[in-house]
Amino acid sequence: MKTRLFVSGGGNESPGYLGGIKRFNERILARKSPELAYEFRLIDGERHAGMQFDSYVRGLIFVFAPLAPESGPSH
């Protein structure tokens, strides 16, 4: 399936939670799926609640990047 996926984690998450996120990232990268556009971002210094807004914005930008116009409006 051709798709785009953005995954993020906070650098200060609990070790068990962060370990799961990192293992998931490694598994996705190991698959090397040519139909998957994938980005992983670890947000240093943040925990789960502190990284949400940054993750939402970056994730939406990544997922919708193919639909964005190549240049801004001309004035």
Does 11 score more than 90 pLDDT? no
Q: Mean pLDDT throughout 30-47?
A: 91
Residue 11 · residue 19 · CB < 8 Å = no
Q: Mean pLDDT throughout 30-38?
A: 93
What pLDDT sits at residue 50?
Answer: 81
Rounded Cα distance, 54 and 38, in Å: 17
Q: What is the pTM of this model?
A: 0.79
Q: Mean pLDDT throughout 10-29?
A: 92
Residue 4 · residue 61 · CB < 8 Å = no
Q: What is the pLDDT of residues 48-61, one digit of tens each?
A: 778 888 899 999 99
Would you kindly state where each structural domain of the chain is located, as residue ranges?
3-67
